[in-house]
Amino acid sequence: MITMAAVDRFSLLYREISRACNFYIEALAIVGTWYTARKCISFACSTYNLLRLHFLPKLVGEIDLVKQYGRWAVVTGSTDGIGKAYAEELARRGVNIILISRNKEKLEAVSQSIAETYKVETDFIVFDFSKGREAYLAIKEALKDREIGILVNNVGQFHSYPDYFVNVSEDILWDMINVNIVSANMMIHIVLPGMVEKKKGAIVNLSSAVCYKPTPMLSLYGACKSYLDYFSRALHYEYASKGIFIQSLTPFAVTTKMLSCSSITSKRSLFFPSSEEYARQAVSTLGLSKRTTGFWKHTIQVALGKHIPEWIWAWVAQSFCRSVRKEALASKLK
């Protein structure tokens, strides 16, 4: 007990208070040490995973995808952007490619280009993923005699520009759900039985970094991508024991036609890679991580974003989306 009357100098008072609080100081020191150690371990693990996924594959050599998963790969939404670049990267590694998209002329051109450049077999299926359930019978029939080793669910639909939910038409709403969600479910349901029978195969679902935290003005798109991310991870646990590897890719912005509504994201920059640059790194993570951005700079962005409070993330995202919307609307008026 501190007797104030016995203390006539500040130094003595400070010493007595310190002595009385010694237990609490030690407790805080233990908590601080535990917190620091936890953060250091977390940082070390994140650094290790970054190196393991994006840099070590370059040192140890590429995985033989044909031997690991099979001779044929199906890539949806494969005439532009990430889908086309991913198909080309798989072909470079010796995998035969089946392209699925809705534009026949583009499919013929991409199919011929891949076959001539990489000396692999190619085929294509003309298909519009915004159509209903019965339309998938055509894909099922076309793939029934193929031994599919890799399925890449890349096809996706984005807003013409970020917008408020009430401004999204019913047609766009249904198309976005059908293209971004239903397509992956149906394609997996078609090819997965064959993979289970062979006890090997890989499925890649293109999600997005917007699934990590709520992104205003991209609410519908973000919800679709969050569904894909959850679906991929749950499905991986269901089928990993059967030799099937299922991966959720969650990239930030990649300079594709889909993001041409913004003058910022439509140009390749430090954190906005080209489709080809992104695909090279993303394919190298196949079999190594069930959930990854696919690109080392995006991995750093996600790591930093996880430490940002949700309201700050949402505020920054909405501010950016508003500026993109304003830019898109202004260009329409020209």
For 84, phi then psi, to 5°, come to -65, -45
What confidence tens digit (pLDDT) does each residue in 126-169 have? 999 998 788 899 999 999 888 999 999 999 988 888 999 999 99
Token representation of residue 3: 């007797």
What confidence tens digit (pLDDT) does each residue in 225-237 have? 999 999 999 999 9
CA distance 82 to 291: 17
The DSSP secondary structure of 137-198, one letter per residue, reads HHHHHHHTT--EEEEEE------SS---GGGS-HHHHHHHHIIIIIHHHHHHHHHHHHHHHH
CA distance 101 to 83: 10
First to last CA, the chain: 80
Q: Put residue 239 in one of left, alpha, beta given phi > 0 → left and psi -120 to 50 → alpha.
A: alpha
Strand partners, 101: 126
Structural domains of the chain, ranges and CATH numbers in brackets: 64-305 (3.40.50.720)
User: Active site includes 221?
Assistant: yes
Looking at 55-59, 85-89, 105-109, 273-277, which range is the least confident one? 55-59
- pTM for the complete prediction? 0.84
Catalytic pick among 161, 221, 227, 278:
221
Write the burial class of residue 19 (CB in 10 Å: 0-12 exposed, 13-18 middle, 19+ buried).
exposed
